[in-house]
Amino acid sequence: MFSEQHYNSEQIYSTLSSIFGFRSFRPHQEEIVQAILQGRDVFAVMPTGGGKSLCYQLPARMMQGVCVVVSPLISLMKDQVDAARINGLSAATLNSTISAEEKNAIGVALRQNRLDLLYISPERFNSEYFISRLKTLRISFFAIDEAHCISEWGHDFRPDYLELSKIVHEFPSIPVTAFTATATPHVTDDIVKRLCLRNPHLTRASFNRPNLFYRVMVKQDLDVQIRSFLAGHSGESGIIYRNSRKKVEATAEMLQVFGISAKSYHAGMSDVDRHAVQEAFSRDECSIIVATIAFGMGIDKSNVRFVIHADLPKNIEGYYQETGRAGRDGEPAECLLFFGRQDIAQQLRFADEIETEQARNIAKEQLKQMIRFAEQNNCRRVALLKYFGETFSKQNCNSCDICVDSHNLEEATIPAQKILSAIYRTKESFGAIHITDILVGANTEKIRQFKHDKLPTYGVGKDKPKNYWRAVIDALIAQKIVKIEDMLRPILKLTDEAVLILRNQKKFLMRKPHEYISAENKINRISSMKIPSYEIKPFSEPLFIKLRELRTELARAENVPPYIVFSDRTLHEMARYFPRNAETFQQVHGVGRNKYAAYGQRFLEVINKFCEQNPDEMKSLRFKRQFEQNYETSAQISRSSQLSLSTSSSASPLSTTALSSSFLETYRLFQQGKTIDEIVIERKLTRGTIITHLEKLGESGLEISVDLFFVPERLAQIKEWFSASGDNLFLKPAVEASGGKLDFEEARLARIFLRNSLQVNQE
């Protein structure tokens, strides 16, 4: 294996910016791209939303020949081809849905070396005829997506993937790359071995998705709980997973009755119907999909704001991948699991239906791990990352229900003692339902049969509802004070910790149980739950709505999903930074050269018209951003908006009173939201002069908002380059440290803001 050409950083970053509209790489992307360009085999485990497709699409654009991408689903391939084409790449897919004419056109493009990407299914690669055709082409490298499907230890094993091990044998001089979002270290080793990768560059990115909030709730009145959650997510896209076709259809019908835009999706539907549902969801024509796990890998939709598991998943890998379909755009999203122990029996039945003993045992062990995750009383993020061999260093993630409610503990020693006593007095031979019935004084046949109405603990908990006692039992199980040895017969057993609590030698603390729903008209706190961390930065909601409407119009005209035109994150930035011309618009995340050419003027028309009609909206949002980012105190903001030129004792060495009228005129235009180019035209001065004005204005202590020039990621990267000059903010070392990615003009603008944050002297 070898690379025929040397690719430098300038070429890589130029392609990243012009084609994909990104100014910097996400973690690990750059090193993977470099390895592929060097002709190495690669295996990368990167979480959903981590940017796997860019890792092979970018080098495919730069290298000679076609990159052959093996992908498991036709719908997924179609979306990726559409997205690649809109970005300006030459891409095609060979699958059973395309016509003979289209196949011929693709064949011509391949022979003429005009394709960057060719997407195929593993079944097509298994054809000897197709392999012989591939050998006549110039192939840059192979990329295998969803690579966990090749491992029998993976959660989505597909026998057709096993044949991909032939790639190295059939194409010994061509690099092979493989990507997956979910693989334990054991599965990783298995994939590398089965694909016969040769000294591959290995990347195991963090599985932490900081924008996802994980929550587990006791399954109570499920239909009402789901509707209550959705009440707090009106108009947002989401997925609800159920574990059977019957449940899928029942939940979807229930939501439709209440006027919620929802559709069913499961393997029992025809291919045509499933495709129609998926298309409606991708195109924002349907807000919610209720599905079995059959609605899986084919989802590339970036603006899914929540994923609900209304039944217990069969394993953590599947749960992680399914929740990973939320928030792919990096914006906040919620993952809610409703857990009831009644789900365990059904999952065990599914496991028992597996034919081979080894596979059955694997499935049952994976189910035990999933149950422990649902029942535990420790940080859910820590548990998820630990499963994938990763350590989370923070003590409180502040983005799961356990950590957020850690301050909301109450002592429940006496209720715990009542439960433990009931378990002890019934000789540790009954489950949670019967123990709860004893505590509330229920008159059941089983209680009468065993004369448990004669026990001292009978009726001692009738002052609280059954749901409360079940919550305490769940907490006792989570804290390993009570255990269940056999999932098929969930009998409650006492541990040594239970004895300490019964003897008053240890207190029992638990999170306060959530209020439960007893009637349709009762307020459920689920709908008001908000993600406490990683909130979306302020943006103009009215402008965002207008931009979203335009996105939908353009997507329908081009017959592609709206998120392929621009992601929600990109629209949020437009509604946050108000780009008014080509220069500033192309600085927005996700706006590349091709997309600007296709859509830029239409979006700029909407933004400029909105700004002219709503000057107060733009002004108030700017001040809100300034306050949140701590660039100025409220007094300083007031001073800046009123153009008061008095200085405080802590002002910068250059007094505002020393500024000429020319500087102040530049500042006045800047405060109106005008860009540098607009100020240059209006003032008939050069860009260099205007930037000098801004430097002096910043030194004087007046507000110069960073938001109008830089997205946070870009400023953070420039800050790293400036660190090359130590405690000084010298321009030349920063520009040189960037390797050509930073010019002097941008460095001068960045230094305005870095001087304040780093508190260093001017060079």
pLDDT, one tens digit per residue, over 609-650 is: 998 898 877 666 654 444 344 323 322 323 333 333 322 223
Confidence grade of residue 136 (pLDDT, cut at 50, 70, 90): very high
Residue-by-residue DSSP string for 132-175: HHHTTS-EEEEEESSGGGG-TTSTT--GGGGGGGHHHHHSTTS-
pLDDT for the residue numbered 124: 87
pLDDT for the residue numbered 655: 39
Contact 450, 496 (CB under 8 A): no
Q: 541-613, what's its fold?
A: DNA polymerase; domain 1 (1.10.150)
Domain extent listing, the chain: 9-204, 212-405, 409-511, 541-613, 645-758
State how far the Cα of 243 lies from the Cα of 229, in Å rounded to an integer.
Answer: 19
Q: Where does residue 381 rank: exposed (0-12), middle (13-18), buried (19+ CB within 10 A)?
A: buried
pLDDT, one tens digit per residue, over 139-183 is: 999 999 888 888 766 556 677 788 888 899 999 999 999 998 877
pLDDT for the residue numbered 524: 41
What's phi and psi for 724, nearest 5 deg?
Answer: -65, -20
pLDDT for the residue numbered 727: 55
pLDDT higher than threshold 70 for residue 296 = no
State how far the Cα of 138 lies from the Cα of 134, in Å rounded to an integer.
Answer: 8
pLDDT, one tens digit per residue, over 532-578 is: 444 556 788 899 999 999 999 999 998 888 988 998 889 998 998 88
pLDDT for the residue numbered 50: 76
pLDDT, one tens digit per residue, over 331-385 is: 889 999 998 877 887 888 888 888 788 888 888 888 888 988 988 878 899 999 9
pLDDT for the residue numbered 408: 67
Highest mean pLDDT among 304-318, 516-530, 746-760: 304-318
Q: 409-511, what's its fold?
A: Arc Repressor Mutant, subunit A (1.10.10)
pLDDT for the residue numbered 651: 32
Instruction: Give me 482's structure tokens.
Output: 């009570």
Confirm or reject CATH 3.40.50.300 for domain 212-405, answering yes or no.
yes
Confidence grade of residue 658 (pLDDT, cut at 50, 70, 90): very low
The superfamily in CATH containing domain 645-758 is ATP-dependent DNA helicase RecQ (1.10.10.1390)
pLDDT for the residue numbered 515: 47
Q: Classify the C-alpha dihedral 556-561-565-571 as positive or negative.
A: positive
pLDDT higher than threshold 80 for residue 4 = no
pLDDT, one tens digit per residue, over 673-725 is: 777 877 877 777 777 778 878 877 777 666 676 666 777 778 888 888 888 76
| Torsion (CA) 268, 273, 274, 280 in degrees, nearest 10 | -150
pLDDT for the residue numbered 694: 81
Contact 307, 567 (CB under 8 A): no
pLDDT for the residue numbered 253: 95
Q: What residues contact 679, with CB distance under 8 A and at least 6 apart?
A: 666, 669, 670, 685, 690
pLDDT for the residue numbered 172: 93
pLDDT higher than threshold 80 for residue 653 = no
pLDDT for the residue numbered 310: 96
pLDDT, one tens digit per residue, over 441-494 is: 999 999 999 999 999 999 999 999 988 898 899 889 888 899 987 766 789 999
pLDDT for the residue numbered 536: 57
- The reply to whether 541-613 and 645-758 are identical in fold is no
Cα-based angle 153, 379, 217 (whole degrees, multiple of 5): 85
pLDDT for the residue numbered 743: 78
Out of 120-124, 151-155, 400-404, pick the least confident: 151-155
Highest mean pLDDT among 36-40, 95-99, 723-727: 36-40
Distances (CA, A) of 503 to 40, 414, 484, 660: 64, 11, 22, 81
The chain-wide mean pLDDT, for the chain, equals: 82
Distances (CA, A) of 594 to 585, 586, 613, 668: 13, 11, 29, 35
pLDDT, one tens digit per residue, over 491-542 is: 999 999 999 999 999 999 887 765 433 333 333 444 444 454 445 567 888 9
Q: Please report which helix (H) or strand (E) contains residue 618, including its range.
A: helix 615-628
In this prediction, residues 53-73 reach a mean pLDDT of 92
Q: 9-204, what's its fold?
A: Rossmann fold (3.40.50)
Residue 552's Cα: distance from chain center in Å?
Answer: 22
pLDDT higher than threshold 90 for residue 664 = no
Confidence grade of residue 256 (pLDDT, cut at 50, 70, 90): very high
pLDDT for the residue numbered 519: 35
Q: What residues contact 149, with CB distance under 8 A and at least 6 apart?
A: 72, 122, 156, 157, 158, 161
Q: Please report which helix (H) or strand (E) contains residue 391, including its range.
A: none
Out of 291-295, 335-339, 744-748, pick the least confident: 291-295
pLDDT for the residue numbered 299: 66
